Amino acid sequence: MLVPARVTVVSRSPDRFRQAHPDLCAMPGLELVAGDICDPASLPRGRAFTHVIHAAADSTLGPQLSPLQRFDQILEGTRNVLELAVQCGARRLLFTSSGAVYGAPPPGLVKIPESWRGMPDPLDPANAYGVAKRAAEHLCVLHARPGGLQVVIARCFAFVGPDLPLDVHFAIGNFIRDALWSERIVVGGDGSPLRSYLYQSDLAYWLMELLMRGEGSQAYNVGSDEAISVLELAHLVRDTLAPCKPVEILGAASQGLYQRNTYIPDITKAQEALAVRVSVPLRDAIIAAAQGIKGAD
């Protein structure tokens, strides 16, 4: 895998990023610049870039935005980044989309392939994230040009690692937090939904492979295809990190945006095209995430 010699990262708060990741920011060839995808004038125009990764969206704090704010941030932000990529002469752009573009799969479809044409109900405001990601994908292919910008789409599912927030809507992050610092591990629903998790180092490797070698105007699922129920996950985290702690099941059904019984990607396309794989077993990923989180304290 080729790694670019120079990387420019656009951040709304470069100083905060430097404070949080001093070792990363000390890497040679890494440049931080202040900018916001929603403000095209703040982006680094007038410079030449060969490759662009567009991974800017509030997936963590997004629920604090209104549905219209979420939609506008994703769609208009993508438009601004695409126009920047064209203006700066970039050859390739990777857009990190989401498995949310598929909507709820029908019964019997456990692993969702890229060929599945389902999508979230556009008449439900709670689906602003998934609908906007789907629209942003279309905007990407509209900007692709033969002999010019090639756009590759990564439909990202669920992940785990030391950088995962522990106090939002990510079940595995909440379970790790509970295992480390709470008296019990709490399952907010009944534990029946199926999920899968890819470790963050695998995620980074897959994204770089897609940026460098993915086929233009194509989408690839990114994630693990090893399904586990949320209840099984809670017990796995408990058994791995805190064997003596109880697991408490609240039993309430999930509501709103995150009500999705099955969220598992079919990753055959990426595996066959790019020879990527899930290299870190889930138990090892949980241990590494917990060690990284404790080490950062």
Name the more confident of 233 and 165. 233
Whether residue 283 is predicted with pLDDT greater than 50 in this model: the reply is yes
CA distances from 292 to 76, 77, 163, 287, 288 (A): 35, 31, 8, 9, 6
Return the amino acid letter for 255. Answer: Q
Name the more confident of 97 and 6. 97
Lowest-confidence region among 50-54, 103-107, 222-226, 263-267: 103-107
Q: What is the per-residue pLDDT across 236-249, written as a single tens digit (0 to 9) for each?
A: 999 999 999 999 99
Q: Report the chain's mean pLDDT, rounded to a whole number.
A: 92
pLDDT value of position 257: 40
Task: Give the pLDDT mean for 185-190.
Answer: 94
CA distances from 146 to 54, 92, 136, 217 (A): 20, 11, 19, 10
pLDDT value of position 242: 97
pLDDT value of position 4: 63
Report DSSP letters for the chain, one per residue.
----S-EEEEES-HHHHHHH-HHHHTSTTEEEEE-BTTBGGGS-TTS--SEEEE----TTTGGGS-HHHHHHHHHHHHHHHHHHHHHTT-SEEEEEEEGGGG-SPPTT--EE-TT------TT-GGGHHHHHHHHHHHHHHHH--TTS-EEEEEEE--EESTTS-SSSS-HHHHHHHHHHHSSSEEESS-S--EE--EEHHHHHHHHHHHHHHSPTTEEEEES----EEHHHHHHHHHHHH-TTS-EEE--PPP-GGG--SB-EE--HHHHHHH-----S-HHHHHHHHHHHHHHH-
Q: Pull the structure tokens for residue 106.
A: 């029908």
Whether residue 295 is predicted with pLDDT greater than 90 in this model: the reply is no
pLDDT grade for 256, boundaries at 50, 70 and 90: very low
Question: pTM score, two decimals?
Answer: 0.93
pLDDT value of position 57: 79
Whether residue 181 is predicted with pLDDT greater than 90 in this model: the reply is yes
Q: What is the per-residue pLDDT across 114-145, written as a single tens digit (0 to 9) for each?
A: 999 999 999 999 999 999 999 999 999 999 98
Name the pairing type of β-strands 159-160 and 198-199: parallel
Q: Pull the structure tokens for residue 214.
A: 């993915």
Lowest-confidence region among 115-129, 168-182, 257-271: 257-271
Q: What is the per-residue pLDDT across 152-171, written as a single tens digit (0 to 9) for each?
A: 999 999 999 999 988 888 99
Whether residue 107 is predicted with pLDDT greater than 90 in this model: the reply is no
- Selected from 3.40.50.720, 2.30.30.230, 3.60.10.10, 3.40.50.300, the CATH number assigned to the domain covering 35-296 reads 3.40.50.720
Name the more confident of 168 and 53. 53
Whether residue 1 is predicted with pLDDT greater than 70 in this model: the reply is no
pLDDT value of position 258: 40
Whether residue 185 is predicted with pLDDT greater than 70 in this model: the reply is yes
CA count, 13 A, side-chain hemisphere, 232: 12
pLDDT above 70 as % of the chain: 93
Q: What is the per-residue pLDDT across 17-45, written as a single tens digit (0 to 9) for each?
A: 999 889 889 989 999 999 999 999 999 99
